[in-house]
Structure 1
């Protein structure tokens, strides 16, 4: 099992370069569609809906138990690799850029989008954990629903996909392979039910898609008018006295 995940991680980092064509980065404003395509929300919405239905559906609860039994049957020992694989797709974005493969956004813009996605995802996951209080399969706590590791992994996979889908489709595919492996390992380690993982995946994907839509507004609120920052000047004066003069043009 561990060897499979290692291969998935290596695939995520390096295989897409065989198919990639480099492009120049653009700003968030240039890369976000003026009209939001609601069809892109169908899959994550369906995943989240399945999880919520599973909170009450006896049939889905039985399926959860069946999945747990199958995982218990194949598990020899637990692994902590899912604590790291959840971050692989997002780290890959910066690693690929560092070696010269350009995504659609520059460093500042993609970091704003990622930070926005993380806030949306984190707040949603933690809020639902407190609200639902579902017991984990291993009985250790009442915060199973949804899976935070899985949500992080799929948020990161969609982040990788958003940045490099115009370069090569294989970047997004490899990111989702790693994300799916993370979700599988959460069940394999007896930490989450199937519905926890499915819902986490939906939340992760949806968080990133929404983040790229609202990131330009976040950027404007946080950083304001670029011209203002360009007008700031800092002058150093030496001699008998030393001072710093800060001036700004409005």
Structure 2
């Protein structure tokens, strides 16, 4: 089952490449230029609300819970025992696509300057939360290399990029967010097959990434209005 999922993720990436090229040609004709992001769909808030509690409940340190430590890890290491550095590069995949579409002049939900501000805010929120939790929890990695396992920073970064890609360019083509989430999900899976993270680390990291992008899309417009209003009063 896990092997099939990995194959599906990589096939999604393969089909995404020509689709992005087609989308770049078609988007300016189909997507309206919007100065501020649209209101997010409900599922974008529901997913973090599901992933984060699920990850916490599956943690190897959670009372009476051995699912993460003794079942998921053992199954992965027995059936998918390999090591790769692909996750170190794939974590940047969604943001690389986001950057490429932005540089290509594809019109998204927000103006280019606002788009950059939202991305910086989302990554700032994600970094503070992830690093803070790593320092606070000192969860040991499955391979015993260090005690900064919880949550998965690679997964959080990948899902932050996937969330931004979905919110900004999801209206251009459904294949664009699908490709972004495929890269993010593959990153999380590879972190587990590399024996660097428990499934709880990956689930919580994914939830933090998605939540960070949504918070940025909600907070940035409010913050921008406050700054513009303050400058207008000073003027």
Give the TM-score normalised by structure 2: 0.83
Once the two structures are superposed, residues 123-158 of structure 1 have per-residue CA deviations (whole angstroms, 9 ceiling, x without a partner) of 111111111111100001111111000000011001
Unaligned runs of 5+ in 1: 229-248
Q: How much has 1:46 moved relative to structure 2?
A: 1.1
Of residues 47, 53, 62, the one that matches 2:57 is 53
Which residue in the other structure is 2:191 paired with?
Answer: 186
Contact 1:12 1:89 in 2 (8 A): no
Compare relative contact order (CA 8 Å, sep 6+) and give the higher one, 1 or 2: 2
Once the two structures are superposed, residues 68-121 of structure 1 have per-residue CA deviations (whole angstroms, 9 ceiling, x without a partner) of 112222445411111111111112112123334322222211111111111111
Unaligned runs of 5+ in 2: none
Once the two structures are superposed, residues 229-249 of structure 1 have per-residue CA deviations (whole angstroms, 9 ceiling, x without a partner) of xxxxxxxxxxxxxxxxxxxx9
- SS of the residue corresponding to residue 195 of structure 1 reads helix
Distance 1:185 1:223, change over 3 A: farther
Greater helix share, structure number: 2
Cα distance in 1 for residues equivalent to 2:147 and 2:48: 24
Which residue in the other structure is 2:103 paired with?
Answer: 98
What does residue range 191-230 of structure 1 map to in structure 2 within 5 Å? 191-220=196-225
Cα distance in 1 for residues equivalent to 2:41 and 2:67: 36
Contact 1:12 1:175 in 2 (8 A): no
Cα distance in 1 for residues equivalent to 2:216 and 2:16: 22
Q: How much has 1:27 moved relative to structure 2?
A: 1.9
Contact 2:90 2:183 in 1 (8 A): yes
Cα distance in 2 for residues equivalent to 1:175 and 1:192: 21
Larger Rg: 1
Q: Judge which range, 91-100 or 116-125, deviates more.
A: 91-100
Contact 2:47 2:207 in 1 (8 A): yes
Which residue in the other structure is 1:242 paired with?
Answer: none
Which residue in the other structure is 1:234 paired with?
Answer: none
Distance 1:79 1:157, change over 3 A: same
Of residues 127, 130, 134, the one that matches 1:129 is 134
- SS of the residue corresponding to residue 197 of structure 2 reads coil
Cα distance in 1 for residues equivalent to 2:16 and 2:133: 30
Q: How much has 1:8 moved relative to structure 2?
A: 4.9
Contact 2:58 2:67 in 1 (8 A): no
Q: Judge which range, 62-71 or 180-189, deviates more.
A: 62-71
Which residue in the other structure is 1:40 paired with?
Answer: 44
What does residue range 91-170 of structure 1 map to in structure 2 within 5 Å? 91-170=96-175
CA RMSD of aligned residues (A): 2.8
Q: Judge which range, 106-115 or 176-185, deviates more.
A: 106-115
The aligned length equals 224
